[in-house]
Structures are given as C-alpha cells and as structure tokens.
Amino acid sequence: MKQLFFLILMVTMATITNAQTKTIYTDDCEAKNKNGALTCKLTSPELRKRKETVLKSLKSQILQKNELANGYSYKFTGSDKMVDELTEFVKTERACCDFFTFNISISGDKSEAWLEIKGPDGAKDFIKTELEL
C-alpha cells in the first residue's frame, strides 16, 4: 500500500514539475494558464474605459514598482486622498478580477502607501498586459 501511494505521489509530482505554463491573451480580457483561465468580468469597452480613467490615474501616481514572484507591489504617497483612491480601486477591481489578492499597507505618518496585487500563475502577465500597471 505504501509503495502504491509513493508511486502515485511520484507520478503526480513529475506531472506538475513537467507542466508548461502557457499564457494566451484575447480581446476578451482573458489570460489562460495551466490551471484554467484568468478572466476579467468586464467587457472590452468597459476595460478600455477603466484603463482611460482609474488605471491611468493610478499609473501616473506610482512612485516605485517592485516585481514579486506572483505579482507586483506599487508605492504611492500616503495621503488620505491616495488611500481612498487605492481602497476604491481594490473594491471595484475585486468585483471584476476575483482571482487577485490585494494588500494595502499604509504608514501611520502618511509618508507612503503600498498596494500589492498578486494572484495565481498567469496573474503577473495579466497585470502587465491587461491592467498595464
């Protein structure tokens, strides 16, 4: 029984190790990875409008960008206005891209705020190409 379990475990690990990730982008705000599709619930026109307003505003205020293993972190000023904008962004973004994980870190002295956007395999490419952040 132990040998059968070990054999199944080894085959499973080999399959996972040898799996290739392929990311495919479409005009429907979708990125595919080996586990399935990362799909934005916005239509293409809705996403285009979001890029021209909300995302453009955020992008223009980024002070620093750091690459993470499964996403990106962005530094902003720590003003109350910026914190409100980041919070509003996360509230709306999680409704259309529920595969992301968001973290907001705010310094008590209002000097800076950080936004982390992370997700499953393929999310990093999605952030880069679809959100253009």
pTM of the predicted structure, to 2 decimals? 0.70
| Whole-number Å distance between alpha carbons of 131 and 77 | 20
Q: Would you say residue 13 has pLDDT above 50?
A: no
Instruction: Name the residue range of residue 50's domain.
Output: 2-131
| Count of domains forming the chain | 1
45 vs 80 pLDDT, higher one: 80
| Whole-number Å distance between alpha carbons of 100 and 124 | 10
The pLDDT tens digits of the residues spanning 25-75 come to 334 444 444 455 688 888 778 878 888 888 999 999 999 999 999 999 999
The pLDDT tens digits of the residues spanning 102-128 come to 999 999 999 999 999 999 999 999 999
Q: Which among 36, 54, 37 has a CA at the least distance from the CA of 46?
A: 54
Q: Give me 37's structure tokens.
A: 């599709």
Half-sphere exposure of 51 (CA within 13 A, CB side): 15
